Amino acid sequence: MFLRGCLLIVRLRLQMPSSFLTFQRFSKVPTGFASLNFPASQQGGVGLNLFIKGISQLVTVASNGKRTKTCSEMHELGILDEAGVLCLKGKIDWIGRMREWNRSLPDAFPEIDAGGKVVMPGFVDSHTHMMFAGSREHEFSLRSQGATYQQIAEQGGGILNTVQHVRVASKRELKKTTSRYLTDMMRHGTTTVEIKSGYGLRMDSEIKMLEAINELKNEEIMTIVPTFIGAHAVPPEYNGGSDVYVRKITDEMIPYIGKKNLAAFCDVFCEKGYFELDEAERVLVKGKKFGMLPKIHADELTPLGGAQLAAKVGAVSADHLENVTDKGIAALQRSDVVATLLPGVSFFLGHGYAPARRLIDAGVPVAIATDFNPGSCMSYSMPMMMTIACTQMQMTPEEALTASTVNAAAALNMSSTVGSIEIGKNADLIIADIPDYRFMAYHFGTNHVWKTIKNGTILEF
């Protein structure tokens, strides 16, 4: 009878959502802990206070009020040893060495000992296509046999392959898969993520994706930033007629999405065979009129001039840049555009890498993102992107960490609230079980994150 009762409890618990299970364990949830899919804004103040003490190495990546860090500033990480961080109401309230700590806290105040560990800002992944359906491992196999990304796309693969799956998927199915990936990302230290649409390429399917992204934004503890990229590829039903499709985007999609406030940014894949410079500009200018700030996939496959267009339209970021020209770098240097580099794509596709060294030396603010998607980078690990940036793009560990945190936050217009450990910013941190911050990129292929802290909340996985 006892066994039968236990099995019934297990069966009932397996049928409940994880957020319900977490709160069922306690009559009152202990401060400092939260369910993964229960947003901090809806927790009624639960779990927003925390004292992290005895930190062996605290890496603040402080920007001291600046939006980005450039050139030699990317090496300045603001490191403190034997330090502590006080989080109050989800914000960072105190930072310093433990010997400087002279405040008293209530007996029941939640704290965690980070002795022997490294604390750094939570990663900001500013470029992903992580909402998708289906997978494309067969294309991975074709590329291993010599097929190129363009050749696969010309045969109906690539982006359009995923579009077919997303169009028939329900909103619930899209959210379920994406939610699982969000949890895995948080395990690896990502606390803020951008999610693009772009696998619908039709009014109803693009809206379905953006609605699903916004619902996750309200349901998950991860900070989620939605981006509209209806101009990701020309849908097959248009038979290559990009001009007609662009008019559909500018005349119907953007006005609706803007009025419904479904996206913070408007993005375009500006590339030969996708959307030319004039088409991309039309889309980005129209998006801007409806409150969506411009982003652009620029100079990935060819030196088309996407970087110059990003500077012209005042884009927040120009992403990819594997084939950016000297003129493009000069245009970025004269602007406030963040260059978001995607090392995982070059690694996964066997392409050349973006010229990170030239961009940094020119004074362009550089960020790193995963571009997590089923076709060109099936990875959501920001530490892995740091490793590739160091080994293949001649970035230092300091530059890679800055690019993955405060500069990545700037690529989402969020560096005033996330991306560094500074007083007043959101308490988004990770505690890594490593001896030194450089170990994060050095020892690749494993997860060094011991605890992920979101808004002062220790996440339980």
Give dist(CA 142, CA 155) in Å, integer. Answer: 12
Q: How many CA atoms lie within 13 A of 402 on its CB side?
A: 27
Please give the residue that has the higher pLDDT: either 115 or 29: 115
User: What integer pLDDT is reported at residue 3 of this predicted model?
Assistant: 36
Query: How many C-beta atoms surround the C-beta of residue 150 within 10 A?
Result: 13
Q: Has residue 24 got a pLDDT over 70? A: no
The percent of residues in the chain predicted with pLDDT above 70, rounded, is 90
Average pLDDT over residues 358-375: 98
pLDDT, one tens digit per residue, over 143-192 is 899 888 888 887 778 899 999 999 999 999 999 999 999 999 999 999 99
Q: Has residue 31 got a pLDDT over 60? A: no
User: What integer pLDDT is reported at residue 157 of this predicted model?
Assistant: 84
Tokens of 379: 């990875």
| Residues forming a β-bridge with 320 | 298
Q: Has residue 14 got a pLDDT over 70? A: no
Domain boundaries, the chain: 29-120+423-459, 124-410
Average pLDDT over residues 196-203: 98
Rg (CA), the chain: 22
pLDDT, one tens digit per residue, over 242-282 is 999 999 999 999 999 999 999 999 999 999 999 999 999 99
Q: Write out the chain in H/E/C secondary structure.
A: CHHHHHHHHHHHHHCCCHHHHHHHCCCCCCCCEECCCCCHHHCCCCCCCEEEEEEEEEECCCCCCCCCCCHHHHHCCCEEEEEEEEEECCEEEEEEEHHHCCCCCCCCCCEEECCCCEEEECEEECCCCCCCCCCCHHHHHHHHCCCCHHHHHHCCCCHHHHHHHHHHCCHHHHHHHHHHHHHHHHHCCEEEEEEECCCCCCHHHHHHHHHHHHHHHHHCCCEEEEEEEEECCCCHHHCCCHHHHHHHHHHHHHHHHHHHCCCCEEEEEEECCCECHHHHHHHHHHHHHCCCEEEEEECCCCCCCHHHHHHHHCCCEEEECCCCCHHHHHHHHCCCCEEEECHHHHHHHCCCCCCHHHHHHCCCCEEECCCCECCCECCCCHHHHHHHHHHHCCCCHHHHHHHHCHHHHHCCCCCCCCCCCCCCCECCEEEECCCCCCHHHHCCCCCCEEEEEECCEEECC
At the fourth CATH level, which superfamily is domain 124-410? Metal-dependent hydrolases (3.20.20.140)
CATH for 29-120+423-459 is 2.30.40.10
Q: Has residue 377 got a pLDDT over 70? A: yes
The residues, ordered by sequence, that sit 6+ positions from 195 with a Cβ below 8 Å of its Cβ are: 128, 129, 130, 131, 178, 213, 216, 224, 225, 226, 227
Q: Which of 134-138, 318-322, 403-407 has the lowest mean pLDDT?
A: 134-138
The percent of residues in the chain predicted with pLDDT above 90, rounded, is 85
Angle between the 306-313 and 277-289 helix axes, to the nearest 10 degrees?
20
Q: Has residue 193 got a pLDDT over 50? A: yes
Give dist(CA 161, CA 395) in Å, integer. Answer: 34
Phi and psi angles of residue 60, each rounded to the nearest 5 degrees, phi first = -85, -25
Q: pLDDT tier at 33 (50, 70, 90 boundaries)?
A: very low
Phi and psi angles of residue 244, each rounded to the nearest 5 degrees, phi first = -65, -40
User: What integer pLDDT is reported at residue 45 of this predicted model?
Assistant: 39
Give dist(CA 267, CA 219) in Å, integer. Answer: 24
Q: pLDDT tier at 35 (50, 70, 90 boundaries)?
A: very low
Q: Which amino acid is at 1?
A: M
CB–CB of 252/259 below 8 Å?
A: no
Please give the residue that has the higher pLDDT: either 20 or 195: 195
User: What integer pLDDT is reported at residue 47 of this predicted model?
Assistant: 53
> CA quadruple 356, 359, 361, 363: dihedral positive or negative?
negative
The residues, ordered by sequence, that sit 6+ positions from 247 with a Cβ below 8 Å of its Cβ are: none
Average pLDDT over residues 10-28: 30
User: What integer pLDDT is reported at residue 149 of this predicted model?
Assistant: 80
CB–CB of 456/90 below 8 Å?
A: yes
